[in-house]
Amino acid sequence: MPLEKTLRKVEYDIQNGDLEKAKLRLNGLLCHFAYPSNLLVRRKLGDIHYHLGNVREAGKYWYLVEDKSPEMEQAIRLYEKACGHNPYVIGYRMNAHHIDIHAVRQQSEYAANMLVEMRDLTVMSSDMPTLYIRDIRTREHTIDLPQPKKLSFFQWVVTIIALLVFVFVIIPLVISVGTLLVLFYLHFTGEL
């Protein structure tokens, strides 16, 4: 079922007071991996859980929301506490491994950076069991990728000379020595 059609049905369910049905529809969009990267679906699902009284579960779906209300912050803290503040558990329970960072980046730079940091912390969490995920919210959310070094003219010249020496000196020398060893072997065995 297309996303727009399902969202219209969700709005209809909400207007008719059938939050459980709306929750099931949105959960189907996320959990069947059709739209796990759609932040609007996640936010709506968080809203529904909150209105149903599932505050901790709402925090799971609001985790990537950029402009959080105090209620959202409280729900997220409850969710983190329920996960033992373990970044691996937090990410696993919200299916972070199925979320496409590039698709999220088109919707929110903040959410994409949160996912990148969460995945980094998930890798580190096995070495650092006391690591708290809440600490990543206090840091600047930018990704600094190392820039490749540019070679100077001198480095290019040295690299080209080394390559030429290898091709025209080292390789022929190895071939010559190998040929001589084969000839000596054949000579001493009497096969030549």
Residues 131 and 154 in one domain: no
8 and 83 co-located in one domain: yes
What does the DSSP assignment read for 73-91? HHHHHHHHHHTTT-HHHHH
Residue found under tokens 């369910």: 13
What is the total count of domains within the chain?
2
Would you state the pLDDT for residue 32?
Answer: 66
Which two structure tokens, joined as six digits, stand for 73? 């912050």
Residue type for 28, please?
G
**Hey, how many other C-beta atoms are within 10 angstroms of the C-beta on 64?**
25
Both tokens of 100, joined, read 């496409």
Q: Which pLDDT score is estimated for 192? A: 67
- Judge if 130 and 176 occupy the same domain: no
| Gyration radius of the chain over CA positions | 29
What does each of the 192 residues of the chain score in pLDDT, given as a tens digit? 578 888 899 999 999 999 999 999 888 888 765 788 888 888 999 999 999 999 999 999 998 888 899 999 999 999 988 888 877 788 878 877 778 888 888 888 888 888 887 776 665 545 444 444 555 444 444 445 556 677 788 888 999 999 999 999 999 999 999 999 999 889 888 876
Residue span of the structural domain in which 154 resides = 147-192
The answer on 21 and 63 residing in a single domain is yes
Site of tokens 């070094």 = 149
Q: Do residues 44 and 83 both lie within one domain?
A: yes
Residues 130 and 161 in one domain: no
